[in-house]
Amino acid sequence: MTPLRVLSVASEVYPIVKTGGLADVVGALPWALMAEDIEVRTLIPGYPAVMAALEQVGEISSLPNFFGGNARLLGGSHGALDLFVLDAPHLYDREGNPYLGPDGKDWPDNPFRFAALARAASYIGLGAVPSFVPDVVHGHDWQAGLVPAYLLYSHRPHPGTVMTVHNLAFQGRFPRHFLPPLGLPPESFSIYGLEYYGDISFLKAGLQFADKITTVSPTYAREIQSDEHGMGLGGLLRQRSSDLVGILNGIDTTVWDPGNDPAIPSHFGIEKLEARAPNKAALQTRMGLQVSPETFLLGVVSRLTSQKGLDLLLSCLPTLTSAGIQLALLGDGEAELREAFRAAAARHPGQIGVVIGYDEGLAHLVQAGCDALVVPSRFEPCGLTQLCALRYGALPIVTAVGGLADTVIDETEAGVAATGFKCASVTAEALDQTLRRAAAAFYAARSNASNWTRMQLNAMLTDVSWRHRAGRYAELYRQIVAQRRPAG
């Protein structure tokens, strides 16, 4: 059997460019799919970091006058990742965040930057690279939303398409006047196409025209079909429910391996749980906290946005500080949250430690050193940090939404099989109660360690790898190919 070929299209990929969990998934899936006999190549924009990281580069074709300048399609690799890169300096040769200018606002030409990515993907889909003609083109998030539209309006035979929603909150919405310069026909601008409240929505194009839609957990797949959580696309997603599936994310268990993690001082595992303790001390030191093995230490690794619900945690700080609980927070994002956590740390030195910024190594230390990781999201398509926490024996304290609901087991659900703590609702009160419940369980372990330790072992034994989850994607690709193959 020849392997199935999949072109994955995304705006970021770990370890080259990452602003969030999207990059982790796009970076890990190709490797996991190899075991399923699926050959994946990933198309990404040629940002400076990508151009610098590209190995074994070769030019595949030149794309003159491509969305306002000359561009090239390159082939290459980075480690085990096989890449196509759209080298378009007029669109991507800018330092910093892939989406935002130095003023913190979206680049004004983002519609062109990501339409170009989708257009290049459609060329590959239509056979521009004879050595790699994909069976399926798989786009991630709004930045790849136009891929199915360009393929459809090419009016040529083309591969099957999958659109994965990592976060429905980001939709790539732009004014209607972009339609002609994006090379989309007038008939695409309809309620049955990419029209969205009088504007163009890249994500809607993907959701409307892709053969299959996936999102990153079964619960989020249900939630987004409701008017309450559908962010204006609930109706469309309900209509497409037979083509919509929730497949849980995994994490790269070679990058996140407590037994062999270069970012932590003491390696540990289920048979060496006591070796976790030096990491707690290292984290307390690094965060300016009082070094105390007995104190309950909460960790946070997060983007600081309203999605992540960290304002709820701010409301719980009086409970934490009066109960002598410690907090180690690593995050970056909205100025108001940054300032509020900085101020809390200044008010409670030794008890609240805050690092504002993005720090991959410290994220590993937080997971290895904290007793429990708090993820109080308002909504969470899947969430990766609670998966890392499970693997590192940090018990997740989560709201019961999206993938958090699907990946953490509370004592009230399964008794001895529990892996963490779930809040009954997404409110500061419920979070406060759940934090108290977790603290009580932690401190009870002083007289009888078995309950907390059992939860840690349950957590660490949870399969958070891509192994089985990649198989679900492979199944979906095969289904698409079988459905599109002409009968007879």
Ligand X SMILES: Nc1ncnc2c1ncn2[C@@H]1O[C@H](COP(=O)(O)OP(=O)(O)O[C@H]2O[C@H](CO)[C@@H](O)[C@H](O)[C@H]2O)[C@@H](O)[C@H]1O
Closest CB to ligand X among residues 167, 188: 167
Closest CB to ligand X among residues 88, 366: 366
Give per-residue burial for 392-420: e unless 16+ CB within 10 Å, then b. Answer: bbbbbbbbbbbbbbbbbbbbeeeeeebbb
250 in Cβ contact with 467 (< 8 Å):
yes
For residue 206, state whether it binds ligand X (rule: CB under 6 A). no
Shortest CB 366 distance to ligand X, Å: 9
Closest CB to ligand X among residues 159, 331: 331
Instruction: Determine which residue in the list 360, 413, 429, 463 makes contact with ligand X, applying CB under 6 A.
Output: 360
Instruction: Determine which residue in the list 167, 225, 326, 351 makes contact with ligand X, applying CB under 6 A.
Output: 167
Instruction: Determine which residue in the list 173, 303, 338, 484 makes contact with ligand X, applying CB under 6 A.
Output: 303
For residue 382, state whether it binds ligand X (rule: CB under 6 A). yes
Q: How many residues bind ligand X (CB under 6 A)?
A: 26
Instruction: Determine which residue in the list 119, 138, 158, 166 makes contact with ligand X, applying CB under 6 A.
Output: 166
Which positions from 33 through 62 interact with ligand X, judged by CB under 6 A?
A: none
At residue 354, φ and ψ (nearest 5 deg) are -130, 130
For residue 227, state whether it binds ligand X (rule: CB under 6 A). no
Shortest CB 338 distance to ligand X, Å: 11
Annotated binding-site residue numbers for ADP-alpha-D-glucose: 18
Shortest CB 379 distance to ligand X, Å: 8
Closest CB to ligand X among residues 147, 362: 362
Shortest CB 38 distance to ligand X, Å: 19
Shortest CB 408 distance to ligand X, Å: 13
Provide the Cα torsion 85, 88, 89, 93; round to 10°: -50
Which positions from 9 through 38 interact with ligand X, judged by CB under 6 A?
A: 20-22, 24-25
Structure tokens at 21: 């969990």
Annotated binding-site residue numbers: 18
Distance separating alpha carbons of residues 79 and 180, to the nearest angstrom:
39
> What are the residues whose beta carbons fall under 8 Å from the beta carbon of 108, sequence distance 6 or more?
none
Helix axes 450-461, 428-444, angle to 10 degrees: 110
Which string of x and - marks every residue 322-341 that binds ligand X (by CB under 6 A)?
Answer: --------xxx---------
Shortest CB 298 distance to ligand X, Å: 16
Shortest CB 258 distance to ligand X, Å: 14
Residue numbers at the binding site for ligand X (CB under 6 A): 20-22, 24-25, 166-167, 216, 249, 301-303, 330-332, 358-360, 363, 380-385, 403
